Structure 1
Amino acid sequence: MEKWLDPKTIAIWIIIAAVMVSLLTVSIVKLVYINVKRQVESKLKESRLQLEYQKKLMETSVVVQERERARVAADLHDSLIGKLTILRLKNQIEYNFDETDRLLEESINEARRVSHDLSPPMLDDIELCDLIENMVEAWKKHLSILFHKDIRTATPHPGDVKLQVTRILQELIVNCNKHAEATAVFIGIRITDNCISMVVRDNGKGFDVEAMSQGLGMKNIELRVLYLKGVYKIKSGEKGTTSVFVFDLKNRNKS
Structure 2
Amino acid sequence: MPQPGPEILSAAIVVSFIILMLSIVVIFVMVNYKKKQQIHLHEKALMKEEFEKQFLKSQFEVQEQTFQQIGKELHDNVGQLLSTSRMLIGLTERELQNPPDTLLTANATLGQAINEIRSLAKSLDKEWLERFSFSENIQTMIERINAAKDIVVEYIQSVELPLRSDEQIILFRIVQEAIQNAVKHAGPTNMRIAVEANENIYLITVSDNGRGFDVGSVSKSMGLANMEHRVQLLQGTIHFNSIAEGGTTVAIRLPLKTEEP
- When normalised by structure 2's length, the TM-score is 0.59
Distance 1:181 1:117 in 2: 30
211 and 133 in structure 1: CA distance in 2 versus 1, 3 angstrom threshold: closer
Which consecutive unaligned segments of at least 5 residues does structure 2 have?
90-105
- Which residue does the alignment assign to 1:143? 151
User: What secondary structure does 2:186 align onto?
Assistant: coil
Gap change, CA 1:188 and 1:87, over 3 Å in 2: closer
Alignment partner of 1:68 out of 62, 70, 77: 62
Distance (Å, rounded) in 2 between the aligned partners of 1:148 and 1:84: 29
Partner residue of 1:175 out of 181, 191, 211: 181
Instruction: Tell me how far 1:148 sits from its aligned partner.
Output: 5.5
Equivalent pair of 1:201/1:243 in contact (CA under 8 Å)? yes
For residue 234 of structure 1, the aligned residue among 224, 227, 239 is: 239
Are residues 28 and 191 of structure 1, via their aligned partners in 2, closer, same or farther at CA, if it must alter by over 3 Å? closer
Aligned residue among 216, 223, 247 for 1:212: 223
Query: Do 1:181 and 1:205's aligned partners in 2 also have CA atoms closer than 8 Å?
Result: yes
What do the CA deviations read for 1:79-120 (whole angstroms, capped 9, x no partner)? 4278889999x9xxxxx931897x97886565355457679x
Name the amino acid aligned to 1:181: A
Conserved 8 A contact 2:231-2:252:
no
The C-alpha deviation readout for 1:157-202, integer Å capped at 9, x for no partner, is: 77968x9398354443123224x43413233444689975332223
Q: How many residues align?
A: 221
Distance 1:232 1:247 in 2: 7
Q: Equivalent residue for 1:243?
A: 250
Distance 1:86 1:135, change over 3 A: closer
| SS of 1:30 mapped into structure 2 | helix
- In the alignment, is the contact (CA less than 8 A) between 1:182 and 1:205 conserved in 2? no
Name the TM-score, length of structure 1 as normaliser.
Answer: 0.60
For residues 159 and 16 of structure 1, what CA distance do their matches in structure 2 show?
Answer: 66
Q: Which amino acid aligns with 2:152?
A: S
CA distance in 2, matches of 1:116, 1:174: 24
TM superposition shift of 1:30: 0.6
The residue type equivalent to 1:231 in the other structure is G
- Does residue 1:164 correspond to 2:168, yes or no? yes
- Determine the C-alpha separation between the residues in 2 that align with 1:158 and 1:246: 14
AA of the residue aligned to 1:177: V
In the alignment, the residues of structure 1 paired with residue 155 and residue 80 of structure 2 have an alpha-carbon distance, to the nearest angstrom, of 38
Q: Which amino acid aligns with 2:87?
A: D
Q: Percent identity?
A: 17
Deviations 1:189-226 (A, max 9, x none): 446899753322233444645753543x5555555xx2
- How far apart in 1 are the matches of 2:204 and 2:254? 9
Contact 2:205–2:251 under 8 Å retained in 1? yes
Q: Distance in 2 between matches of 1:34 and 1:134?
A: 58
